[in-house]
Amino acid sequence: MIDQKELTEAPSAFLVLGHDKVAASSQNNNKGAVMWRWIRWLTLVLVALFIASFLPWSISSQAIALPDNLPAASPPESMRVSALPTGTMHSSAMLAFRGGNPLENRDFSMTAVLVQHPRGDLLIDTGFGREVDDQVKLLPLLMQLTTDYDKTTPAAEQLITQGYDLKSLVGVILTHAHWDHVSGLDSLRNTPVLVPTTEQAFISDGGDNSALARQLSADHLKSFAFVNKPYLGFAQQFDVWGDGSVVLVPAPGHTPGSVLVFLTLPSGQRLALLGDLVWQLDGITQLAEKPWIARQLIDEDTYAVRDAIAHVSAIAKKFPQVKLLPAHDAKAMGSLPVYPSTLR
Protein backbone atom coordinates (compact mmCIF):
# COMPACT_ATOMS: atom_id res chain seq x y z
CA MET A 1 0.00 0.00 0.00
CA ILE A 2 1.34 3.48 -0.95
CA ASP A 3 2.08 5.74 1.94
CA GLN A 4 0.19 9.08 1.83
CA LYS A 5 3.33 10.92 2.94
CA GLU A 6 5.25 9.56 -0.07
CA LEU A 7 2.54 10.81 -2.38
CA THR A 8 2.67 14.29 -0.94
CA GLU A 9 6.49 14.46 -1.00
CA ALA A 10 6.94 13.02 -4.52
CA PRO A 11 6.04 16.20 -6.46
CA SER A 12 8.57 18.16 -4.46
CA ALA A 13 11.24 15.59 -5.25
CA PHE A 14 10.42 15.70 -8.96
CA LEU A 15 10.53 19.49 -8.90
CA VAL A 16 13.97 19.48 -7.31
CA LEU A 17 15.21 16.89 -9.80
CA GLY A 18 13.81 18.90 -12.71
CA HIS A 19 15.40 22.08 -11.42
CA ASP A 20 18.80 20.36 -11.20
CA LYS A 21 18.48 19.14 -14.77
CA VAL A 22 17.57 22.60 -16.02
CA ALA A 23 20.52 24.13 -14.12
CA ALA A 24 22.92 21.52 -15.53
CA SER A 25 21.59 22.10 -19.05
CA SER A 26 22.00 25.84 -18.64
CA GLN A 27 25.59 25.40 -17.49
CA ASN A 28 26.33 23.15 -20.47
CA ASN A 29 24.79 25.70 -22.82
CA ASN A 30 26.93 28.44 -21.33
CA LYS A 31 30.06 26.32 -21.70
CA GLY A 32 29.12 25.55 -25.29
CA ALA A 33 28.54 29.24 -26.06
CA VAL A 34 31.92 30.18 -24.59
CA MET A 35 33.63 27.41 -26.55
CA TRP A 36 32.07 28.49 -29.86
CA ARG A 37 32.96 32.12 -29.11
CA TRP A 38 36.60 31.10 -28.69
CA ILE A 39 36.48 28.99 -31.86
CA ARG A 40 35.10 31.94 -33.84
CA TRP A 41 37.78 34.27 -32.51
CA LEU A 42 40.53 31.74 -33.19
CA THR A 43 39.22 31.21 -36.71
CA LEU A 44 39.19 34.94 -37.36
CA VAL A 45 42.76 35.28 -36.06
CA LEU A 46 43.98 32.41 -38.24
CA VAL A 47 42.25 33.82 -41.31
CA ALA A 48 43.74 37.27 -40.62
CA LEU A 49 47.22 35.78 -40.24
CA PHE A 50 46.80 33.78 -43.45
CA ILE A 51 45.76 36.90 -45.39
CA ALA A 52 48.58 38.92 -43.81
CA SER A 53 51.12 36.36 -45.05
CA PHE A 54 50.40 37.49 -48.63
CA LEU A 55 50.74 41.21 -47.90
CA PRO A 56 53.91 43.16 -48.78
CA TRP A 57 56.73 42.69 -46.30
CA SER A 58 60.38 43.28 -47.10
CA ILE A 59 63.27 41.29 -45.72
CA SER A 60 65.75 43.48 -43.87
CA SER A 61 68.75 44.32 -46.01
CA GLN A 62 72.08 43.21 -44.63
CA ALA A 63 75.61 44.57 -44.72
CA ILE A 64 77.34 41.93 -46.83
CA ALA A 65 81.13 42.06 -47.15
CA LEU A 66 81.56 42.03 -50.93
CA PRO A 67 84.81 42.36 -52.87
CA ASP A 68 85.59 45.56 -54.77
CA ASN A 69 85.55 43.70 -58.08
CA LEU A 70 83.90 40.66 -59.59
CA PRO A 71 85.95 37.45 -59.18
CA ALA A 72 88.56 36.79 -61.86
CA ALA A 73 87.66 34.22 -64.51
CA SER A 74 89.20 32.84 -67.70
CA PRO A 75 86.38 31.21 -69.64
CA PRO A 76 87.47 29.45 -72.86
CA GLU A 77 86.52 31.16 -76.12
CA SER A 78 84.40 28.19 -77.17
CA MET A 79 82.18 28.30 -74.07
CA ARG A 80 78.47 28.75 -74.86
CA VAL A 81 75.19 28.92 -72.95
CA SER A 82 71.70 28.01 -74.19
CA ALA A 83 68.24 27.52 -72.75
CA LEU A 84 66.11 24.41 -73.17
CA PRO A 85 62.54 25.35 -72.17
CA THR A 86 60.47 22.29 -71.29
CA GLY A 87 57.22 23.83 -70.12
CA THR A 88 55.50 26.53 -68.10
CA MET A 89 53.32 26.59 -65.01
CA HIS A 90 50.81 29.41 -64.57
CA SER A 91 49.70 30.97 -61.30
CA SER A 92 49.04 34.27 -59.57
CA ALA A 93 51.73 36.76 -58.57
CA MET A 94 50.21 36.56 -55.09
CA LEU A 95 51.51 33.00 -54.83
CA ALA A 96 54.93 33.87 -56.27
CA PHE A 97 56.13 36.42 -53.69
CA ARG A 98 54.79 38.40 -50.75
CA GLY A 99 52.96 41.48 -51.98
CA GLY A 100 52.23 40.00 -55.41
CA ASN A 101 49.05 41.19 -57.11
CA PRO A 102 46.38 38.46 -56.86
CA LEU A 103 44.93 39.61 -60.19
CA GLU A 104 48.26 39.43 -62.03
CA ASN A 105 49.12 36.17 -63.75
CA ARG A 106 52.71 34.96 -63.66
CA ASP A 107 54.41 32.30 -65.78
CA PHE A 108 56.77 29.90 -64.02
CA SER A 109 59.33 28.56 -66.47
CA MET A 110 60.63 24.99 -66.38
CA THR A 111 63.93 25.41 -68.19
CA ALA A 112 67.19 23.50 -68.36
CA VAL A 113 70.37 25.45 -69.16
CA LEU A 114 73.09 23.94 -71.34
CA VAL A 115 76.66 25.09 -70.71
CA GLN A 116 79.00 24.02 -73.51
CA HIS A 117 82.63 23.88 -72.37
CA PRO A 118 85.66 22.29 -74.09
CA ARG A 119 86.31 20.15 -71.01
CA GLY A 120 82.77 18.78 -71.09
CA ASP A 121 79.23 20.09 -71.32
CA LEU A 122 76.97 20.60 -68.31
CA LEU A 123 73.21 20.76 -67.94
CA ILE A 124 71.92 22.91 -65.10
CA ASP A 125 68.61 21.45 -63.90
CA THR A 126 66.44 19.45 -66.30
CA GLY A 127 62.93 20.92 -66.36
CA PHE A 128 59.95 18.71 -67.19
CA GLY A 129 60.46 15.12 -68.24
CA ARG A 130 58.28 12.58 -70.02
CA GLU A 131 56.30 11.63 -66.89
CA VAL A 132 55.34 15.17 -65.85
CA ASP A 133 51.58 14.50 -66.04
CA ASP A 134 51.83 11.79 -63.40
CA GLN A 135 54.28 13.80 -61.30
CA VAL A 136 51.98 16.84 -61.12
CA LYS A 137 49.27 14.63 -59.60
CA LEU A 138 51.56 14.02 -56.62
CA LEU A 139 51.88 17.73 -55.77
CA PRO A 140 50.16 19.13 -52.65
CA LEU A 141 46.47 19.67 -53.39
CA LEU A 142 46.74 23.45 -52.93
CA MET A 143 49.40 23.66 -55.66
CA GLN A 144 47.31 21.52 -58.00
CA LEU A 145 44.28 23.77 -57.46
CA THR A 146 46.14 27.07 -57.92
CA THR A 147 48.34 26.24 -60.92
CA ASP A 148 48.05 24.83 -64.40
CA TYR A 149 50.81 23.96 -66.80
CA ASP A 150 51.91 23.50 -70.39
CA LYS A 151 54.62 21.08 -71.43
CA THR A 152 56.83 21.05 -74.49
CA THR A 153 59.62 18.56 -75.21
CA PRO A 154 62.05 17.25 -72.57
CA ALA A 155 65.52 18.79 -72.71
CA ALA A 156 67.32 15.60 -73.79
CA GLU A 157 64.91 15.06 -76.69
CA GLN A 158 65.35 18.68 -77.81
CA LEU A 159 69.11 18.17 -77.92
CA ILE A 160 68.86 14.90 -79.84
CA THR A 161 66.48 16.48 -82.37
CA GLN A 162 69.08 19.18 -83.03
CA GLY A 163 71.79 16.59 -83.62
CA TYR A 164 73.48 16.99 -80.24
CA ASP A 165 75.41 13.97 -78.93
CA LEU A 166 74.33 13.32 -75.32
CA LYS A 167 77.74 11.76 -74.71
CA SER A 168 79.09 15.33 -74.70
CA LEU A 169 77.25 15.85 -71.40
CA VAL A 170 79.59 15.07 -68.54
CA GLY A 171 77.18 16.04 -65.79
CA VAL A 172 73.89 17.53 -64.64
CA ILE A 173 74.16 20.18 -61.94
CA LEU A 174 71.06 20.45 -59.77
CA THR A 175 70.36 23.78 -58.12
CA HIS A 176 68.33 21.53 -55.80
CA ALA A 177 66.59 18.17 -55.91
CA HIS A 178 62.89 19.04 -56.09
CA TRP A 179 60.76 17.16 -58.62
CA ASP A 180 60.52 19.95 -61.24
CA HIS A 181 64.31 20.17 -61.43
CA VAL A 182 64.96 16.43 -61.72
CA SER A 183 61.92 15.41 -63.79
CA GLY A 184 63.92 15.39 -67.04
CA LEU A 185 66.54 12.99 -65.68
CA ASP A 186 64.41 10.10 -66.95
CA SER A 187 65.99 10.74 -70.37
CA LEU A 188 69.54 11.12 -69.01
CA ARG A 189 70.12 7.84 -67.20
CA ASN A 190 73.78 7.66 -68.20
CA THR A 191 74.72 11.20 -67.18
CA PRO A 192 76.18 11.78 -63.68
CA VAL A 193 74.20 14.12 -61.43
CA LEU A 194 76.35 16.50 -59.39
CA VAL A 195 75.10 17.55 -55.95
CA PRO A 196 76.80 18.74 -52.75
CA THR A 197 76.99 16.21 -49.94
CA THR A 198 74.23 18.01 -48.01
CA GLU A 199 71.82 17.66 -50.93
CA GLN A 200 72.69 14.01 -51.33
CA ALA A 201 71.62 13.52 -47.70
CA PHE A 202 68.39 15.46 -48.42
CA ILE A 203 67.64 13.18 -51.36
CA SER A 204 67.97 10.18 -49.05
CA ASP A 205 65.71 11.44 -46.25
CA GLY A 206 63.88 14.55 -47.50
CA GLY A 207 60.41 13.02 -47.45
CA ASP A 208 57.93 13.87 -50.20
CA ASN A 209 59.96 16.87 -51.41
CA SER A 210 62.79 14.62 -52.61
CA ALA A 211 60.79 11.49 -53.45
CA LEU A 212 61.38 11.70 -57.21
CA ALA A 213 65.11 12.33 -56.82
CA ARG A 214 65.28 9.32 -54.52
CA GLN A 215 64.63 7.14 -57.57
CA LEU A 216 68.13 7.97 -58.81
CA SER A 217 70.59 5.15 -58.38
CA ALA A 218 73.60 5.60 -56.12
CA ASP A 219 75.85 5.33 -59.18
CA HIS A 220 73.93 8.18 -60.82
CA LEU A 221 74.68 10.67 -58.04
CA LYS A 222 78.12 12.21 -57.72
CA SER A 223 78.62 14.35 -54.65
CA PHE A 224 81.14 17.16 -54.31
CA ALA A 225 82.43 19.25 -51.43
CA PHE A 226 82.85 23.02 -51.37
CA VAL A 227 86.23 24.53 -50.58
CA ASN A 228 86.77 27.32 -48.09
CA LYS A 229 87.45 30.06 -50.60
CA PRO A 230 85.30 33.22 -50.70
CA TYR A 231 83.23 34.05 -53.75
CA LEU A 232 81.15 37.25 -53.85
CA GLY A 233 80.76 37.22 -50.08
CA PHE A 234 79.97 33.51 -49.81
CA ALA A 235 82.47 31.70 -47.60
CA GLN A 236 82.75 28.64 -49.85
CA GLN A 237 82.71 27.76 -53.53
CA PHE A 238 83.12 24.90 -56.00
CA ASP A 239 84.85 25.92 -59.22
CA VAL A 240 83.80 23.14 -61.59
CA TRP A 241 86.54 23.56 -64.21
CA GLY A 242 89.02 25.64 -62.22
CA ASP A 243 88.82 28.57 -64.65
CA GLY A 244 86.07 30.57 -62.94
CA SER A 245 83.61 29.97 -65.77
CA VAL A 246 81.23 27.79 -63.73
CA VAL A 247 81.25 28.41 -59.98
CA LEU A 248 78.79 27.00 -57.45
CA VAL A 249 78.18 28.47 -53.99
CA PRO A 250 76.06 27.02 -51.18
CA ALA A 251 72.70 28.68 -50.57
CA PRO A 252 70.89 26.35 -48.14
CA GLY A 253 67.32 27.06 -47.16
CA HIS A 254 65.00 26.03 -49.96
CA THR A 255 66.66 22.65 -49.53
CA PRO A 256 69.68 21.90 -47.32
CA GLY A 257 71.99 21.62 -50.33
CA SER A 258 70.61 24.29 -52.67
CA VAL A 259 73.26 26.05 -54.76
CA LEU A 260 73.59 29.18 -56.85
CA VAL A 261 75.46 28.84 -60.14
CA PHE A 262 77.60 31.74 -61.40
CA LEU A 263 78.61 31.68 -65.06
CA THR A 264 81.22 33.88 -66.72
CA LEU A 265 81.12 33.92 -70.52
CA PRO A 266 83.94 34.69 -73.00
CA SER A 267 82.32 38.07 -73.69
CA GLY A 268 82.68 38.92 -70.01
CA GLN A 269 78.95 38.67 -69.36
CA ARG A 270 78.02 37.29 -65.95
CA LEU A 271 74.98 35.15 -65.18
CA ALA A 272 73.68 33.97 -61.82
CA LEU A 273 71.30 31.01 -61.84
CA LEU A 274 69.36 31.32 -58.60
CA GLY A 275 67.38 28.08 -58.60
CA ASP A 276 64.33 28.47 -56.34
CA LEU A 277 65.84 30.94 -53.90
CA VAL A 278 63.03 33.13 -55.23
CA TRP A 279 60.42 32.18 -57.82
CA GLN A 280 60.34 35.56 -59.54
CA LEU A 281 62.94 38.31 -59.84
CA ASP A 282 60.64 40.52 -57.72
CA GLY A 283 61.83 38.47 -54.76
CA ILE A 284 65.29 40.02 -55.15
CA THR A 285 64.35 43.52 -56.29
CA GLN A 286 61.68 43.87 -53.58
CA LEU A 287 63.42 41.72 -50.94
CA ALA A 288 60.24 39.66 -50.85
CA GLU A 289 60.15 36.03 -49.81
CA LYS A 290 57.54 33.49 -50.88
CA PRO A 291 54.11 33.69 -49.17
CA TRP A 292 53.78 31.85 -45.86
CA ILE A 293 51.81 28.90 -47.22
CA ALA A 294 54.39 28.32 -49.97
CA ARG A 295 57.26 28.54 -47.49
CA GLN A 296 55.63 25.94 -45.25
CA LEU A 297 55.16 23.56 -48.16
CA ILE A 298 58.47 24.07 -49.95
CA ASP A 299 61.25 25.80 -47.99
CA GLU A 300 63.23 23.77 -45.46
CA ASP A 301 64.73 26.78 -43.61
CA THR A 302 62.98 30.11 -44.15
CA TYR A 303 65.58 32.08 -42.16
CA ALA A 304 68.41 30.79 -44.33
CA VAL A 305 66.40 31.68 -47.43
CA ARG A 306 65.95 35.24 -46.15
CA ASP A 307 69.68 35.59 -45.56
CA ALA A 308 70.47 34.35 -49.07
CA ILE A 309 67.90 36.71 -50.64
CA ALA A 310 69.48 39.65 -48.81
CA HIS A 311 72.93 38.48 -49.93
CA VAL A 312 71.97 38.23 -53.61
CA SER A 313 70.18 41.57 -53.40
CA ALA A 314 73.42 43.14 -52.13
CA ILE A 315 75.32 41.58 -55.06
CA ALA A 316 72.73 42.94 -57.50
CA LYS A 317 73.11 46.45 -56.11
CA LYS A 318 76.90 46.49 -56.19
CA PHE A 319 77.31 44.55 -59.45
CA PRO A 320 74.24 45.31 -61.59
CA GLN A 321 76.02 43.78 -64.61
CA VAL A 322 75.39 40.31 -63.15
CA LYS A 323 72.24 39.00 -64.82
CA LEU A 324 70.04 37.30 -62.23
CA LEU A 325 68.04 34.28 -63.41
CA PRO A 326 65.55 32.75 -60.97
CA ALA A 327 64.76 29.29 -62.31
CA HIS A 328 61.01 29.90 -62.59
CA ASP A 329 60.93 33.50 -63.77
CA ALA A 330 59.74 33.02 -67.35
CA LYS A 331 60.67 36.55 -68.38
CA ALA A 332 64.21 36.29 -67.02
CA MET A 333 64.84 32.78 -68.33
CA GLY A 334 63.24 33.74 -71.64
CA SER A 335 66.06 36.23 -72.20
CA LEU A 336 68.45 33.32 -72.85
CA PRO A 337 68.73 32.07 -76.44
CA VAL A 338 67.12 28.70 -77.05
CA TYR A 339 69.39 25.92 -78.30
CA PRO A 340 70.87 25.66 -80.92
CA SER A 341 71.24 29.44 -80.56
CA THR A 342 73.85 30.34 -77.96
CA LEU A 343 75.10 33.10 -75.70
CA ARG A 344 78.85 33.59 -75.56
Q: Which residues of 196-221 are buried (b: 16+ CB within 10 A; e: fewer)?
A: bebbbebbeebeebbebbeebeeebb
Please calculate the CA angle 304-59-320 and round it to the nearest 5 degrees: 90
Supply the CATH classification number for the domain 80-333: 3.60.15.10
Torsion over CA: 211, 217, 218, 221 (sign): negative
Helix (H, G, I), strand (E, B) or coil at 7: helix
Q: How far apart are CA 155 and CA 181, in angstroms?
A: 11
- Average the pLDDT over 261-278 and give the result: 98
Query: What 3 state SS string does 278-304 have?
Result: CCCCHHHHCCCCCCHHHHHHHCCCHHH
DSSP label of 94: G
Helix (H, G, I), strand (E, B) or coil at 168: helix
Question: What pTM was computed for the model?
Answer: 0.85
pLDDT, one tens digit per residue, over 216-264 is 766 789 999 999 999 999 999 999 999 999 999 999 999 999 999 999 9
pLDDT, one tens digit per residue, over 185-219 is 999 989 999 999 999 999 988 788 898 999 876 67
Q: What is the pLDDT of residue 260?
A: 99
pLDDT, one tens digit per residue, over 133-179 is 999 888 878 778 878 999 999 999 999 999 999 999 999 999 999 99
Q: What is the pLDDT of residue 87?
A: 98
Helix (H, G, I), strand (E, B) or coil at 63: coil
